[in-house]
Amino acid sequence: MNIEATLFDANGANKDIGIEKISLESIKEKQLLWVRIVGRKREAIEEISRKLGLENAPIDSILNVRERPKVDIFENYYRFFINSIRLDEKDRERSVPIDFLVGKNYVITISDEKLEVFECFLEREKGEQQIGELDAENFVAALLDLHIVCYFRVLEDIEEEVDRFDDKILKTEMEDEVFLKEMVRLRNRVSRLRRWFMPHRDVFYALSRADFQQISASDSAEQFSRLNSHFENAVDAIESSRETVLSLFELYATKSAQKMNYFIQRLTFLTLIFGGLGVVAGVLGMNYEVDYLFKSHYGFWMTVSGMVLISIGLTVLARYKRWI
């Protein structure tokens, strides 16, 4: 378990503060407190909730990471839950549950592990005094926007892999079993991304509704409206990526049909050659004699040579016509 807290101050330097200095009374105007709890420990959540005056904090719901993303509204704060995403060391998607507890001038985030996107945000905004002028709702909107960006980054990784697989289909021969295995893997990646992201619609719609007083009463309503549009753009991008993956099957089917067509052309050409040679052999096998051919010492070799010349001639013609 790890608890970190950063106090953003519009009138002074931003600073990290210890747990013992966290209190609702210590947060002044034009200040914003961000508490990050890493590790879902009941004792830590209860302690921070007590220091910031969160009555009836939904501890059990926070500890249940399998619930659907949703928003809960309380008297002086609100809580919502999301599933962020990141790539592990093997470039596999991992769901990262995050709880938000938001009140006047403070935001509490609870996650199972340190989040790179939060660390990058802190590093980027280090020394930025304007954050202290933001209210909690605008600050939450900024964090949720980063949450959507995480999905876009994973989506970019999937699209790059689709492009590489696309080139592989066109440039190399591939067994059906290998193709189907890779196709299923890519489709599962997109489906997993869609399954994790789509339930967030409840959260984004709830936060952008006009009857959500904490937001409608602040100047962040427009920010959440844009955030909602950003969410819909991400949904469209995921759906588009899903169609792109499915289009790989059409590409593979087209290439397979082309290979089959080329095979049929070769087979037809071989049939033409052997059919022509069969005609020659049939004519020479008729029940009559030609002295200069059938009684010649070179008749057999003359026939074989003629057949070879016919085969060569047909092959040259086929190559010229691009039949083979």
**pLDDT over 90 at 110, yes or no:** yes
Q: Which of 254, 279, 304 is the last residue of a domain?
A: 254
Greatest mean pLDDT among 34-38, 208-212, 294-298: 34-38
Taking CB atoms within 8 Å and a gap of at least 24, the contacts of 254-261 are 255/169, 255/170
Interval 242-268: pLDDT, tens: 888 888 888 877 777 777 877 787 787
**Least confidently predicted of 69-78, 106-115, 162-171, 207-216:** 207-216
For residues 177 and 297, state if they share a domain. Answer: no
Which carries the bigger pLDDT value, residue 206 or residue 292? 206
Q: In the listed set 215, 234, 254, which residue is the last one of a domain according to the structure?
A: 254
- Of 204, 224, 254, which marks where a domain is finished? 254
- Residue 108 has a pLDDT of 93
Of the pLDDT bands very low, low, confident and very high (cuts 50, 70, 90), residue 300 is low
Q: How buried is 265 (Cβ within 10 angstroms: 0-12 exposed, 13-18 middle, 19+ buried)?
A: middle
Q: For residues 286 and 265, state if they share a domain.
A: yes
What pLDDT does residue 293 have?
Answer: 57
Tokens 């959440």 correspond to 224
How many domains in the chain? 2
248 and 114 co-located in one domain: yes
CATH number of the domain bearing residue 304? 1.20.58
Q: How crowded is residue 13: how many other Cβ atoms within 10 Å of its Cβ?
A: 11
Residues 262 and 119 in one domain: no
Q: 52-56, 122-126, 181-185, 225-229: which range is least confident on average?
A: 122-126
Q: Tell me which residue has tokens 């209860």.
A: 46
Same domain, 70 and 198: yes
Residues 282 and 238 in one domain: no
**Are both 224 and 313 inside the same structural domain?**
no
Same domain for 206 and 295, yes or no, is no
Tell me: do 99 and 133 sit in the same domain: yes
Most confident of the ranges 10-14, 220-224, 234-238, 285-289:
234-238
3 vs 118: CA distance, rounded Å? 14
pLDDT reported for residue 99? 93
The reply to whether 81 and 195 lie within a common domain is yes
pTM reported for the whole predicted model:
0.74
Give the CATH number, domain containing residue 247. Answer: 3.30.460.20
Q: What is the DSSP string of 41-81?
A: -HHHHHHHHHHTT-TT--HHHHH-TTSPP-EEE-SSEEEEE
**Per-residue pLDDT band at 73 (split at 50, 70, 90):** confident
Q: Is the pLDDT of residue 109 over 90?
A: yes
* pLDDT for the residue 101: 92
pLDDT of res. 297: 61
Residue pair 163/250 in contact by the 8 Å Cβ criterion: no
How far is Cα 9 from Cα 21, in angstroms, rounded to an integer? 15
Range of the domain at 298: 255-320
Is residue 266 located within the same domain as residue 246? no
Based on the fold, state whether residues 152 and 283 are members of the same structural domain: no
Cα 290 from chain centroid (whole Å): 78
